[in-house]
Amino acid sequence: MKQKNNNIISEILGSISPNEAKKIENKMLLAAKIDDAMKAKGWKKKDLMNAMGKKNPSEVTRWLSGTHNFTVDLLTEIGLALDTDFLNLETTSPKPIVFHIEIENQPAISPQHNLVNEIQKGYSYRKEMLLTRN
Partner 1 sequence: MNCKLKKIIELSGNKASIYSVIIENEQKTLFEIFLEENIISFKSEIENILKRLEIIGKKTGARDHYFKLYEGKLADGVCALYDLPNKKLRLYCIRFGTQLLILGGGGQKKVKKLQDDEKLKKESYLLRKLSEELTKRIKEKDIRFSNEGKDFEGDMDFDL
Partner 2 sequence: MEQNISFRIDGIELLEYAIISPDKIIEPQTIFKFDINIEHRFNLENNHVFVIVAIHIFLRETGIKVGSAKISCIYKVEQLKNYVDETNQVSFPQDFIISLNSISLSTCRGVIFALFRGTFLHNAILPVVDPKSFQIATPSK
Using N-to-C axis directions, what is the helix angle for 72-82 and 45-52, rounded to 10°? 110
Which helix (H) or strand (E) segment is 112 a member of? Answer: helix 112-133
Q: How many CB atoms lie within 10 A of CB 57?
A: 13
5 touches, from partner 1, partner 2, none (C-beta below 5 to 8 Å by class): partner 1
Residue from 1, 3, 15, 90 that binds partner 1 (CB under 8 A)? 15
Task: Work out whether 130 is an interface residue with partner 2 (CB under 8 A).
Answer: no
Instruction: Kindly determine how many residues on this chain lie close enough to bind partner 1 according to the rule CB under 8 A.
Output: 24
* String marking each residue 46-85 x if it binds partner 2 according to CB under 8 A: ----------------------------------------
Rg (CA), the chain: 35
Q: How far apart are CA 15 and CA 35, in angstroms?
A: 30
Residues found near partner 1 in the complex (CB under 8 A): 5, 7-10, 12-13, 15-16, 20-21, 24-25, 28-29, 31-32, 35, 61-62, 64-67
